[in-house]
């Protein structure tokens, strides 16, 4: 994969030196800079494209966790600290990992590998084709999958609902489900696949999408709630 641009944020010179040495051992990592506090790091983020932060928690001024909460669009974060008690707060911020000082190169590498896998998945999502071709009413339609509200299986046909129209396609629901981005769509019922980003609200075993109400199988509700909160 392409180079991962990293930023170290730690007020301890020795900790910065150790991270610098570890980063230099991983060819996929490129160190963009090292900062002694969060305020300096804010300037670095404004000037550079950073993919991964190695962020200490206890620092002068604002803590690493408080600073991370203030970011509107944060890079991936690996927290580094001498205090294990902050682990829960760190993971609540969806941190990639939590390294407790002193940590070995092997433990560092395990955290970096997790970050690499997340970045690979994000890159593959970005590369998903923007269009899909649908045949309906003796016509071919080029549609953006993100515009689909939901798909309803009706035997050998699928009704595809958009905000401004509906298309009936000769296909099975499973075939079309395999053609749309899996991170955006979910089968919530044997006859329905929905666009998670178009959900207005969930109530009981139903989902509201625009003015449409779609049933949710009880066995799929828990997974839907998890995915709805993270999409």
Residues 116, 8 share a domain: yes
Q: Domain count of the chain?
A: 2
Of the residues 70, 97, 126, which one is the last residue of a structural domain?
126
Question: Is the pLDDT reported for residue 59 higher than 80?
Answer: yes
Residues 25, 47 share a domain: yes
Residues 179, 112 share a domain: no
pLDDT at 104: 96
Residues 206, 156 share a domain: yes
Residues 145, 74 share a domain: no
Residues 142, 99 share a domain: no
Residues 119, 9 share a domain: yes
pLDDT, tens digit (0-9, with 9 covering 90-100), for 182-228: 888 999 999 999 999 999 999 999 999 999 999 999 999 999 998 88
Residues 111, 13 share a domain: yes
For the chain, how far is it from start to end, CA to CA, in angstroms? 24
Range of the domain at 165: 132-230
Q: Is the pTM value of this prediction over 0.75?
A: no
pLDDT, tens digit (0-9, with 9 covering 90-100), for 106-130: 999 999 999 999 888 877 665 555 6
Instruction: Write the CATH number for 226.
Output: 2.40.50.1020
């Amino acid at each position: 994969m392409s180079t991962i641009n990293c930023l170290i944020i730690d007020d301890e010179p020795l900790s910065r030196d150790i991270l610098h040495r570890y980063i230099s051992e991983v060819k996929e990592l490129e160190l963009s800079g090292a900062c002694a506090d969060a305020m300096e790091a804010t300037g670095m983020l404004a000037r550079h494209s950073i993919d991964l932060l190695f962020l200490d928690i206890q620092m002068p001024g604002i803590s690493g966790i408080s600073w991370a909460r203030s970011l509107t669009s944060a890079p991936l974060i690996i927290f580094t600290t001498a205090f294990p008690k902050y682990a829960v707060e760190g993971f609540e911020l969806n941190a990639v990992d939590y390294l407790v000082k002193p940590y070995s190169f092997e433990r560092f590498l395990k955290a970096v590998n997790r970050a690499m896998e997340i970045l690979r998945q994000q890159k593959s999502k970005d590369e998903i084709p923007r269009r899909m071709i649908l045949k309906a009413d003796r016509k071919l339609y080029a549609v953006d999958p993100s515009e689909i509200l939901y798909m309803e299986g009706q035997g050998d046909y699928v009704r595809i609902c958009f905000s401004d129209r509906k298309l009936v396609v000769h296909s099975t629901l499973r075939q079309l489900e395999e053609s749309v981005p899996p991170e955006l769509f979910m089968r919530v019922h044997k006859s329905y696949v929905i666009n998670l980003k178009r959900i207005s609200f969930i109530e009981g075993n139903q989902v509201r999408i625009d003015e449409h109400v779609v049933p949710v199988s009880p066995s799929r509700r828990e997974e839907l709630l998890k995915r709805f909160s993270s999409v």
